[in-house]
């Protein structure tokens, strides 16, 4: 989705930036991991296929993607943006009956970035962005049954279990966005700074890149 191609979201611990070509090599390395393949129900791709996937995601009106950066590393002028990468977060708009329903998916790929509260902040920032920019009225999350850490995190944030699929070994949760929830999310993300995306501080804007 091109909506966020020039958007950077800054939180306390993380920074969300649009998925660009120069992020692909690090992303490709992540997805060689059997653990991440299992958790994301993904098949390994070649580098060329990964570049094609990045391009298709960028152009797909039903998918919104941000790359997650470790803010401490991102702020260090000696560390590149690619070396600050720690995961990604996605919204999928695949409900044919209701375009305001979004499936939300998060991956904290770098082991050193886990257990630091990054996932929670990423979800809150992404949910607030989806509500304010895409009028999302309900979020859905599908999580592997073995991924109890993620299930617990989503539940703590207000998601409720809808169903369990023994066939796909996954749990489906959802979260309806009421006026009360909007107020809570706005308060929880009041620290979020939205700005025009540039690859590095002081660099020219890279928002026009695919």
Nearest CA-CA partner of 144 in 167, 125, 112: 167
Nearest CA-CA partner of 179 in 131, 129, 140: 131
pLDDT at 206: 36
Which strand ranges, in their side-by-side order, compose the sheet holding 138-144?
160-165, 170-176, 138-144, 101-108, 85-92, 63-70, 14-18, 7-10, 193-196
Beta strands in 30-133, from DSSP E residues, in sequence order: 63-70, 85-92, 101-108
Q: Is the pTM of this model over 0.75?
A: yes
Looking at the domain assignment, is residue 209 inside a domain? Answer: no
Looking at the domain assignment, is residue 210 inside a domain? Answer: no
pLDDT band at 43 (very low <50, low <70, confident <90, very high): confident
pLDDT at 33: 92
CATH code for the domain in which residue 84 is found: 3.40.630.30
pLDDT at 203: 40
Looking at the domain assignment, is residue 117 inside a domain? Answer: yes
Q: For residue range 75-122, what is the model confidence (pLDDT) as tens digits?
A: 999 999 999 999 999 999 999 999 999 999 999 999 999 999 999 999
Residue 48 has pLDDT above 60, yes or no: yes
Query: How many domains are there within the chain?
Result: 1
Looking at the domain assignment, is residue 31 inside a domain? Answer: yes
**Span 189-199, mean pLDDT?**
94
Q: Is 208 exposed, middle or buried (0-12, 13-18, 19+ CB in 10 A)?
A: exposed
Structural domain that includes position 152: 2-196
pLDDT at 210: 45
Looking at the domain assignment, is residue 113 inside a domain? Answer: yes
pLDDT at 35: 87
Higher pLDDT, 36 or 128: 128
Higher pLDDT, 192 or 209: 192
Looking at the domain assignment, is residue 55 inside a domain? Answer: yes
Query: What is the rounded distance in angstroms from the CA atom of residue 42 to the CA atom of residue 198?
Result: 30
Buried-exposed string 39-53: b where 16+ CB fall within 10 A, e elsewhere: bbeeeeeeeeebbeb
Query: What is the rounded distance in angstroms from the CA atom of residue 35 to the CA atom of residue 26?
Result: 16
Length of the chain: 210
Looking at the domain assignment, is residue 202 inside a domain? Answer: no
Looking at the domain assignment, is residue 156 inside a domain? Answer: yes
Buried-exposed string 192-202: b where 16+ CB fall within 10 A, e elsewhere: beeeebbbeee
């Amino acid at each position: 989705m091109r909506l966020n191609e020039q958007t950077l979201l800054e939180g306390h611990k993380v920074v969300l930036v649009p998925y660009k070509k120069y992020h692909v090599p690090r992303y490709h390395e992540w997805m060689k991991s059997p653990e991440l393949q299992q958790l994301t129900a993904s098949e390994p791709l070649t580098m060329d296929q990964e570049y094609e996937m990045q391009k298709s995601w960028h152009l797909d009106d039903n998918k919104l993607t941000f790359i997650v950066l470790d803010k401490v590393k991102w702020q260090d002028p000696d560390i590149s943006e690619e070396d600050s990468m720690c995961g990604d977060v996605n919204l999928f708009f695949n409900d044919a009956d209701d375009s305001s329903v979004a499936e939300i998916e998060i991956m904290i790929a770098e082991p050193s970035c886990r257990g630091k509260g990054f996932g929670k902040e990423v979800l809150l920032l992404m949910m607030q962005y989806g509500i304010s920019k895409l009028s999302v009225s309900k979020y859905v999350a599908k999580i592997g049954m073995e991924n109890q850490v993620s299930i617990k995190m989503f539940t703590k944030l207000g998601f409720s279990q809808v169903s369990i699929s023994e066939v796909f070994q996954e749990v489906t949760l959802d979260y309806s966005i009421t006026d009360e929830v909007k107020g809570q999310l706005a308060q929880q993300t009041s620290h979020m700074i939205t700005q025009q995306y540039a690859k590095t501080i002081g660099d020219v804007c890279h928002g026009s890149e695919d």
